[in-house]
Amino acid sequence: MSRSSKDQHLARLSEVSLFRALSRKELETLGRSADTVSVPAGTVLVEEGSAGREFFIVLSG
């Protein structure tokens, strides 16, 4: 990932209310654990009642 792309991802993470209090270093740690994916419109990411082991931050759509 390019430096510019990494900075953009960290900026987006810092906009999420859950992560606003995190330091840059903490955001970088979180960012290393994250994957960026694109999915087609209508794709089901989570089904109600199913056990979850991950979470999603939807940037658009």
Establish if 16 belongs to a structural domain: yes
Q: Can you tell me the distance from the alpha carbon of 24 to that of 22, in angstroms, rounded to the nearest whole number? A: 7
SS3 2: coil
Q: pTM value? A: 0.69
Report in angstroms the alpha-carbon separations of 47 from 16, 17, 36, 43, 54.
22, 23, 20, 11, 12
* Structural domain of 14: 3-32
Establish if 61 belongs to a structural domain: no
Q: Can you tell me the distance from the alpha carbon of 8 to that of 15, in angstroms, rounded to the nearest whole number? A: 11
Looking up tokens 């940037």, which residue turns up?
59
Establish if 46 belongs to a structural domain: no
List pLDDT tens digits, range 30-56: 999 888 899 999 999 999 999 988 888
List pLDDT tens digits, range 9-37: 899 999 999 999 999 999 999 999 888 89
How many domains is the chain partitioned into structurally? Answer: 1
